[in-house]
Amino acid sequence: METGELTDRIAARVKEKLEQMGITVSDGEISACLGGTGCDAPCTSCGGDGTCTGTGPAETNRKILLILTEDHGTDCHALLENSDLAAVYDVQCAFLSDYSVDMDRVDTVILFNLTCANLSKLCSGMADTPYLKTALKAIMSGKKLLASPDQIEYLQYEKTMPAPMWKKMSGDLDFLKSCGLAVVPADQLAGAVMNRPVQNEAAEKPAASSETCAACENEIIIRRRVVTERDLIDAERAGASCIRVNPGCIITDLAKEAAARKGIRFCSD
């Protein structure tokens, strides 16, 4: 397929998706964004006269920040429209380009829609959808991976999910973390892309003295059902010597090993 024909097909797909969202754009505006021919808006290749030379905006040398979703919803708009990110990266939505991605140019991938099924399939190396194929290729290519807790389905069922299932899903998430995934609060994703320090919600403030373990000088409280190795890393950074957890809390094997190495104790109410 010729490059021009491919660009036209992608442009038509993008326009269709935008119209479904109630957004009206001209063919020229889409062509300008995709680097196609027939620009009716100035770009770095047009010299401002509206006649495109065919190379489009000067993005080919910039690293890509890839927004990876199964659908195009409002959750990813803040990142796609972030001016700070756009100043550094060529910010692309994989869904809008039919998952046609130049992985060699990709620097960072932000994963949305990490359903229980998608999480399990990725850990098993199964890629039966364009979304999963792109995610798996990013993992195998060693790309920087980010996801926010609100996009990880099983985390929304902390209070109701049976303990064995929670343990299994947490193990899958720990596996992806070991492959390079960082879980970052949604409002800190842009900062994480730019390598700014992240305030992790798992490591809470030291407890009041009335709740502090008598044997520990510095204690933090984690009230979630599962404690992972990442929590131990955060606890060490916070200078904690003890982590207070709920009775019956699941502590992963990696978390226990990390606690032993770092000299951090667990205690419960």
Looking at this protein, which amino acid is placed at residue 177?
Answer: K
| Of the candidates 90, 98, 92, the residue with the CA atom closest to the CA atom of residue 6 | 98
- For residue 89, being part of any structural domain is answered with yes
Burial state string for 154-169 with b = 16 or more CB within 10 A and e = fewer than 16: bbeeeeebeeeebeeb
The backbone torsions φ and ψ at residue 21, rounded to the nearest 5 degrees and listed phi first, read -90, 0
**Are both 177 and 218 inside the same structural domain?**
no
Write down the mean pLDDT value for the chain: 78
Residues 103 and 182 in one domain: yes
List, for residues 163-172, the tens digit of each pLDDT value: 888 889 999 9
Confirm whether 204 is domain-assigned. Answer: no
For the chain, percent of residues with pLDDT exceeding 90: 32
Q: Identify the pLDDT of residue 209.
A: 36
User: Is the CB of residue 52 less than 8 Å from the CB of residue 38?
Assistant: yes
CATH classification of the domain holding 133 = 3.40.50.1950
Identify whether residues 144 and 257 lie together within a single domain. no
Are 107 and 54 in the same domain? no
pLDDT tens-digit series, residues 28-67: 666 655 554 444 444 444 444 444 444 444 456 789 999 9
- Same-domain check for residues 247 and 150: no
- Position 105 pLDDT exceeds 50: yes
> At residue 22, what are phi and psi to the nearest 5 degrees?
85, 15
> Phi first, then psi: what are they for 206, rounded to 5°?
-55, 145
pLDDT at position 203: 37
**Full-model pTM:** 0.56
Instruction: Note down the domain range covering 240.
Output: 209-268
| Amino acid of residue 5 | E
- Is residue 53 located within the same domain as residue 134? no
- Domain check: are 181 and 228 in the same one? no
**68 and 176, same domain (yes or no):** yes
Q: Of 138, 21, 156, 25, which Cα lies nearest the Cα of 76?
A: 21
The whole-number pLDDT of residue 47 equals 43
Q: What is the pLDDT of residue 199?
A: 58
Report residue 22 as tokens: 């109630």
